[in-house]
Amino acid sequence: MSAHVKLEKITRKYDGIMALRGISLDVKSGEILTIIGPNGAGKTTLLRILALLDKPSSGKLIYQGQSVDSSNTPFLRKKITMVFQRPILLNDTVFENVAYGLKLRGLTEDEIADRVEAALDSVMLKNFAHRMAKKLSGGEQQRVVLARALVLNPELLLLDEPTANLDPTSATIVEKIIRQLRGRSTVVVATHNIFQAKRLSDRVGCILNGMIIDVDKPKNIFTKPRNEIIRKFVRGEFF
Ligand code: ATP
């Protein structure tokens, strides 16, 4: 599998805090890569850099073979969608929330209607189109947010803790939707849920103190940890 995005020695410093300390990582095309790590490890920072929403303090980012710089960032950003840990919904219907990005892209009303219907269908919210999004339950809102991302058919989808605060049923639905994207989009999921990483991933990257300490197939990470740090990590001793 070719690299969709290549990170070379990426660092990110915030007012003296080193959030990322030299991350080199290939995100392969079409894979589901899970980034697991405890609170404050640097997962969100890494996702924001992959989404081209934040610039590294040093290091290089290569997107499908192109070195990322300020001249191509606006164009490349359109291929990427990030779903935030605490997403904000418009004070409008579910339909309008999901349609919003398509309207900005200038699609026709018919195209928008078809794509929104398909996206709502995929998150099992077909009959919710005319409900006010902010009045839905937390789990339903999370699925609206996912539909809003899916409707754009992003090449690269970045999900920050997509099932945090969801009950097991809603979490299962969301995980199923993510798995269905395998091979169609490249997906990076940040989570501190080790079990979710086992269920979802083609590969798992373990992040600790702003460093990727291992990246491998879940089977290798969880059943054949390379060293004592990874063993402790997958036992949750750093969480
Ligand atoms: P969590 O699981 O709690 O969401 P995380 O792994 O996503 O954590 P980050 O949010 O990437 O971690 O934060 C990494 C480090 O960088 C933390 O120490 C955090 O306090 C710091 N940090 C993140 N964003 C900023 C910011 N805008 N300004 C200053 N420090 C920041």
pLDDT digits (tens, 9 = 90+) for 49-95: 999 999 999 999 999 999 999 999 999 999 999 999 888 899 999 99
Ligand 1 atom 31 nearest Cα: 14
Does residue 66 lie in a domain region?
Answer: yes
The count of C-alpha atoms lying within 13 angstroms of the C-alpha of 137, restricted to the half-sphere facing its C-beta, is: 7
What the block records as the tokens of 210 is 């702003």
Show the beta-strand stretches assigned E in the chain.
3-14, 17-28, 32-36, 58-63, 66-67, 80-83, 156-160, 186-191, 203-208, 211-216
Does residue 224 lie in a domain region?
Answer: yes
Centre of ligand 1 to C-alpha 207, Å, is: 13
Taking each helix axis from N to C end, the angle separating 138-150 and 109-122, rounded to the nearest 10 degrees, works out to: 130
Does residue 53 lie in a domain region?
Answer: yes
Domain at 15, CATH number: 3.40.50.300
Q: Indicate whether residue 16 lines ligand 1 (CB < 6 A).
A: no
Our count of domains for the chain comes to 1
The count of C-alpha atoms lying within 13 angstroms of the C-alpha of 217, restricted to the half-sphere facing its C-beta, is: 4
Does residue 34 lie in a domain region?
Answer: yes
Q: Helices H, strands E: what count in the chain?
A: 9, 10
Ligand 1 atom 2 nearest Cα: 39
Does residue 29 lie in a domain region?
Answer: yes
Does residue 94 lie in a domain region?
Answer: no
Residue 221 sits in which domain range?
A: 1-77+187-239
Taking each helix axis from N to C end, the angle separating 168-180 and 138-150, rounded to the nearest 10 degrees, works out to: 10
Does residue 213 lie in a domain region?
Answer: yes
Q: Average the pLDDT over 113-130 and give the result.
A: 96
Give residue 98's pLDDT band: very low, low, confident or very high (50, 70, 90).
very high
Does residue 137 lie in a domain region?
Answer: no
Centre of ligand 1 to C-alpha 43, Å, is: 8
Q: Biggest alpha carbon distance in the chain?
A: 56
Q: Kindly report, residue by residue over 155-193, the tens digit of the pLDDT.
A: 999 999 999 878 888 899 899 999 999 989 999 999 989
